[in-house]
Chain A
Amino acid sequence: MSGRDRTDGATRASSRPPTDHAGLEVPAPTPAFSAEQLGEVRRLQGLYPDRRAALLPVLHLAQETFGYISLEVERYVAGLFDLTPAHVHEVVTFYTMFFRAPKGRHVVAVCHNLSCHLAGAPAIVAHLQGRLGIHVGETTADGRVTLQSVECLCACEHAPMMQVDDRYEFGLTPEKVDRILEGLR
């Protein structure tokens, strides 16, 4: 899975870190959790025989807080665990749910595996690409929606289906997709 993150490519290209007049990257402010969140980090670390096991939960928290997992966030999280940034990077890049570049305010992930394919997922993906004016893997220019095409989300009885942020949306038709998109601000 390393290096196979669907959020690579166009998303990253369209959202490079800010640069100064000489084209050098402006250092991002150091990310930091609030005192309350640090308490949550310690609680999570205490749930496991080895506190490093809380890395995935803490990365989820980091993504909710900072929007995506930048290299700076990786370094910051590594510090909370006494892990090397390289270890955290290896983990972040392995899983599909961690974004390494800014994502849209909403993430729309269409299942393209077999049952959804048989039920017309390619047409749903094509419809979404047309409506949003972007390709799979990209984010709309206004930062509203990131579009993904993903492997089985295990709701095949409702194919074709997709995940919109935390929600599963079932039995998609172009009309239903349009209604869902209208609800995303």
Chain B
Amino acid sequence: MTAEKILTRNFERADSHTLTAYLETGGYTAWQKAQTLPPAAITEEVKQSNLRGLGGAGFPTGTKWSFIPKNHTGPVYLVINADEGEPGTFKDRYLLERDPHALIEGMLIAARAIRSATGFVYVRGEYVEPYRRFSTAVSEAYDAGYLGKGFDVVVHRGAGAYICGEETGLISSLEGKKGWPKLKPPFPAIKGAFGAPTIVNNVETICHVPHIITRGAGWFASLGTKTQGGTRMYSVSGRVRRPGVYEASVAITLRRLIDELADGVTGNGRLKAVVPGGASAAILRADEIDVTMDVDGLRNAGTMAGSAGVIVMDETVSIPEALMVVARFYAHESCGQCTPCRESTGWIYKMVRRIVEGRGRKDDLDTILDVARRGAGTTICAFYDGAVGPYISYIEKFRGEFEALIDGAGARVVATPASRAATAHA
């Protein structure tokens, strides 16, 4: 199942980020071909390929592009979400650093499909080196005449806020505001950045586009499942022998990903649980990993493919402590706009923390589950729904561990030296 390498094929080359290396490996030939195709034909090809968004939501990419109003005459923007921040995910960092021209070429093709003359690439503020690498590639692409002839690219740095990875939060941030998500509808394709129709796509999603144009939708679709084509880059971390980025079919099973690509579980060697799609994905038990990693496969398993950030935990890991770390993250990163999210993330973190620190109360678990369920679906964006996934699944699947801590309250104290600042507000 180590399918052919597509996105990562040049990663071993030390100069893979340069225009020279990109051209030597067939770079920008897809763009030559795309220029001979009508925009609608490009969109149709991407639709047929079953490419789905790889940033988290898994929405069909070609369908998204087709939402741009046909009769629109003003500007249309293409925005690339390079605000990688989902805990456990690091694939886009590799693409920006090691194959930046693939993103530029994908953007050129996508821009032609949606008739956009300007693209913005929103890179998370902490990614200084990826930002420099990508900016250098953009300069090379201008000098070589790929950019600046009907399509311009602006590279934009964020300033530290997970919520800006949410597409409407990203747009707010790009516009020079705090990164508050916007109520939909209108969807960005109708009214997005600067009030204009806008397509927001993830880095990895767009890097697939040149290959779809060159080798055809049928080829791409055949690499995956009936409802999702292609390969994707899995970020594997936690208790595995070989953490790293692995490219494989979207149809690979979680078990093969862990055992074969990441070379198995470390710690005591026995798997306890896995987060399959970034922190916001519901956790899976060791007996639930014979699932395929495609969007629908993981949805049917009650979790999500998300950003394909796989975090592996062996039997020695305390699930309540893991939930405390994740809950701290949501409490810190809630943007504060919607009451259920702002209040619940803070309170749930406090409750999980007191359970872990041996001060848990008998009804804490049911209170957390109740608060989590009531808030789900009541907020402007998907952030809180993403928090609810771990809250509910960690507790429901490992309830005994939480109860043992509550029953033995006072017996166990866990030092959390890092949590001081993060709790100041809670």
Number of interface residues of B (CB under 8 A): 70
A93-123 to B contact mask, C-beta < 8 Å, 1/0: 0111110000000000010111101100110
Q: List A contacts of B313 (CB < 8 A).
A: 118
Most-contacted residue by chain B among A90, A152, A167 (CB, 10 A): A152
Most-contacted residue by chain B among A118, A148, A149 (CB, 10 A): A118
B424 near A9: Cβ-Cβ < 8 Å = yes
B332 near A4: Cβ-Cβ < 8 Å = yes
B161 near A95: Cβ-Cβ < 8 Å = yes
A145-158 to B contact mask, C-beta < 8 Å, 1/0: 00011011111111
A112 near B309: Cβ-Cβ < 8 Å = no
B349 to chain A, nearest CB (A): 12
A125-142 to B contact mask, C-beta < 8 Å, 1/0: 110010000011100000
A28 to chain B, nearest CB (A): 23
Q: Which residue of A lies closest to B334 (CB)?
A: A1
A115 near B88: Cβ-Cβ < 8 Å = yes
B97 to chain A, nearest CB (A): 11
A117 to B129, CA, bound (A): 24
A4 to B334, CA, bound (A): 10
Q: Which residue of A lies closest to B128 (CB)?
A: A166
Q: List B contacts of A48 (CB < 8 A).
A: 154, 194
Partner of A1, one of B335, B419, B424: B335
A175 to B238, CA, bound (A): 22
A83 to B384, CA, bound (A): 31
A183 to chain B, nearest CB (A): 17
A152 to chain B, nearest CB (A): 4
Q: List A contacts of B173 (CB < 8 A).
A: 56
Q: List A contacts of B158 (CB < 8 A).
A: 56, 95
Whether A154 contacts B93 in the complex (CB less than 8 A), given A113-B87, A122-B416, A149-B422, comes out as: yes
A60 to B176, CA, bound (A): 12
Which A residues between 33 and 81 are near B, CB-CB below 8 angstroms? 47-50, 52-57, 59-60, 81
Q: List B contacts of A135 (CB < 8 A).
A: 420
B177 near A156: Cβ-Cβ < 8 Å = no
Which B residues between 218 and 238 are near A, CB-CB below 8 angstroms? 235-238
Q: Which residue of A lies closest to B346 (CB)?
A: A4
B83 to chain A, nearest CB (A): 10
A136 near B420: Cβ-Cβ < 8 Å = yes
B195 to chain A, nearest CB (A): 9
A94 near B93: Cβ-Cβ < 8 Å = no
The answer to whether the Cβ of B202 comes within 8 Å of any Cβ in the partner chain is: no
B326-357 to A contact mask, C-beta < 8 Å, 1/0: 10110011111000000000000000000000
A49 to chain B, nearest CB (A): 4
Q: List B contacts of A153 (CB < 8 A).
A: 126
B87 near A54: Cβ-Cβ < 8 Å = no
B144 to chain A, nearest CB (A): 20
The answer to whether the Cβ of B391 comes within 8 Å of any Cβ in the partner chain is: no
The answer to whether the Cβ of B179 comes within 8 Å of any Cβ in the partner chain is: yes
A141 to B94, CA, bound (A): 38
A2 near B417: Cβ-Cβ < 8 Å = no
Whether A152 contacts B160 in the complex (CB less than 8 A), given A50-B194, A118-B238, A137-B420, comes out as: no
A97 to B93, CA, bound (A): 19
Which B residues between 64 and 95 are near A, CB-CB below 8 angstroms? 75, 84-90, 92-93
Q: List B contacts of A126 (CB < 8 A).
A: 415, 417
B329 near A152: Cβ-Cβ < 8 Å = yes
The answer to whether the Cβ of A177 comes within 8 Å of any Cβ in the partner chain is: no
Q: Which residue of B lies closest to A126 (CB)?
A: B417
A1 near B159: Cβ-Cβ < 8 Å = no
A3 to B420, CA, bound (A): 15
Most-contacted residue by chain A among B174, B177, B334 (CB, 10 A): B177
Partner of A157, one of B86, B90, B161, B194: B90
A129 to B421, CA, bound (A): 13
Most-contacted residue by chain B among A94, A121, A137, A148 (CB, 10 A): A94
A168 to chain B, nearest CB (A): 7
Q: List B contacts of A50 (CB < 8 A).
A: 175-176, 194
B160 near A97: Cβ-Cβ < 8 Å = yes
A126 to chain B, nearest CB (A): 5
A95 to B334, CA, bound (A): 12
Most-contacted residue by chain B among A54, A55, A155, A157 (CB, 10 A): A157
Which B residues between 293 and 329 are near A, CB-CB below 8 angstroms? 309, 311, 313, 317, 321-322, 325-326, 328-329
A92 to chain B, nearest CB (A): 9
B129 near A56: Cβ-Cβ < 8 Å = no
Q: Which of B3-11, B39-47, B103-111, B239-247 lines the interface with chain A? A: B239-247
B376-409 to A contact mask, C-beta < 8 Å, 1/0: 0000000000000000000000000000000000
What are 30 contact pairs spanning A and B, CB under 8 A? A4-B425, A6-B422, A49-B75, A50-B175, A50-B194, A53-B194, A55-B177, A56-B158, A57-B156, A57-B157, A87-B177, A91-B178, A95-B159, A95-B161, A112-B325, A114-B311, A114-B329, A117-B325, A118-B311, A126-B415, A136-B421, A149-B421, A149-B422, A151-B85, A151-B332, A152-B88, A152-B89, A156-B237, A158-B243, A168-B129
**Residues of A at under 8 Å CB distance from B?**
1-4, 6, 8-9, 47-50, 52-57, 59-60, 81, 87, 90-91, 94-98, 110, 112-115, 117-118, 121-122, 125-126, 129, 135-137, 148-149, 151-159, 163, 166-168
